[in-house]
Structure 1
């Protein structure tokens, strides 16, 4: 039996079941925010994992015109690039019913990393905070958002007292320069979910969260500083299905 933990863990038979449940959950939190504040804000991650979830969420019956969607992090590439998180979100989430949502991206058209971070920070200054829901991913090195273990400014990225909303990231393992929401925005979300798939990522996550000396995996720092208990949504990889 797995030990009790200060976070929720939901395991699913496959990625489709996970995507449907996570979409229902996020839609519920956005709807609650709409009823409470008249508007709602969601931050999502990129990569290959969330596409199913995005397609499911795009079909949920919300007042999407009053929902703002932003990114947890972004590569410093234009939206037309295959690696762009904005492109993924536009193609898989901002469609169907969710096509009416407002999108606030992190890309600003400049290759200057510091200038791009400042511009994105300014755009988010005009958004409703705290974030109503954040959906994170995680890499096999334990990074989440763009908090890479080898980032030059990792201490600043994980500083719970930073006033910045967006910071630049340079890390050899990242492959390219990135922009990321800072820890206070991510950990301060009203609802925080981690979406991971595959046995390898489950193992990385559980090792990071083991009791004892603090793990160097950034995902642990986020979970420890979260203002509400995070929830993990996990399914085996598609190629692991019987």
Structure 2
């Protein structure tokens, strides 16, 4: 069962989550000289990243690595790489390293091996992972019944990265071709934080807790596993 940290307003949530992430990153640096921060895109975590970017951490010893990516160039709309550069790797955090997912390959499937090699070079376990959740119950780029979802969620898989082709929906928009970290990768993070806001997302979260079908609501692969604790941060 996930630990729930629910707050009366988003400002308080941002303050607490930014503090918790900063502490975990600092602990990783103190213990091993380096920390890895797995980061998701989206408007919900943006204020957390902006708050973190102003914290005087030893950012040159931190690698921010994408949790998932739309298969678009950084100059195009929808790029998580560009988003993280704009809202996290600023101010104090400008000295951090960013590990992106988009390669020069035409498709995510063709770029999967290169992405896998890049992520395999990161020291493990990872320190902090921030996940979001969609109204369809997806997290990372694990979309319901997507092509490639079953291998990405396979608990026996040793892969870190997986190409995904989502079914077109209001949530995916035009961006159905993705690269994502696998469940194996995310569960190698010391601190897994699921960030959600609003009543609709709270209802989706509660629905996910009630069922077990991961193909229907892939966020269950994080919430229902017993290997690693998960902290859920929510505010209205």
Aligned to 1:34: 29
| Alignment match of 1:140 (pick from 104, 113, 135) | 135
Look up the match of 2:225: 225
1:81 Cα deviation from its structure 2 partner: 1.6
Could you tell me whether the CA contact under 8 Å between 1:44 and 1:72 is conserved in 2? yes
RMSD, aligned α-carbons: 1.4
Q: Which runs of 5+ in 2 are unaligned?
A: none
Q: Which residue of 2 is the match for residue 45 of structure 1?
A: 40
Greater CA drift, 172-181 or 194-203: 172-181
Seen in structure 2, the aligned counterparts of structure 1 residues 121 and 52 have a Cα distance that, compared at 3 Å, is same
5 Å-filtered alignment, 1:60-79, equals 60-79=55-74
Instruction: List per-residue Cα deviations over 1:48-105 (Å, max 9, x = no partner).
Output: 2111011001111211111010111000001112211111100000011111011110
Looking at structure 1, the residues matched to 94 and 205 of structure 2 have their Cα atoms a distance apart, in angstroms, of 33
What secondary structure does 2:219 align onto?
Answer: helix
Paired positions, count: 230
* Matches of 2:9 and 2:186, distance apart in 1: 27
Q: Find the counterpart in structure 2 of residue 170 from structure 1.
A: 165
2:235 is the alignment partner of 1:235: yes
Contact map agreement 2:53 2:91 (CA 8 A) in 1: yes
Q: Does 1:130 align with 2:125?
A: yes
1:109 and 1:50 mapped to 2: Cα distance? 27
Aligned to 1:108: 103
Instruction: Tell me how far 1:184 sits from its aligned partner.
Output: 0.8
Normalised to the residue count of structure 2, the TM-score between the two structures is 0.93
Q: CA deviation at 1:177?
A: 0.2
Aligned pairs for 1:79-90 within 5 A: 79-90=74-85
* Residue pair 2:194, 2:233 contacting (<8 A) in 1 also: yes
Q: Separation in 1 of the partners of 2:26 and 2:161?
A: 26
Equivalent in the alignment of 2:90: 95
Deviation at 1:214, TM superposition (A): 4.7
Offset, 1:150: 2.0
CA contact (8 A) 2:133 2:201 kept: yes
Q: Is the 8 A contact 1:187 1:223 kept in 2?
A: no
Runs of 4+ deviating beyond 4 Å: 212-215
Q: What's 2:155 paired with?
A: 160
Shift of 1:118: 1.5
TM score, norm. by length of structure 1: 0.91
Distance 2:148 2:63 in 1: 28
CA distance in 1, matches of 2:60, 2:13: 26
Decide which moves more: 160-169 or 106-115: 106-115
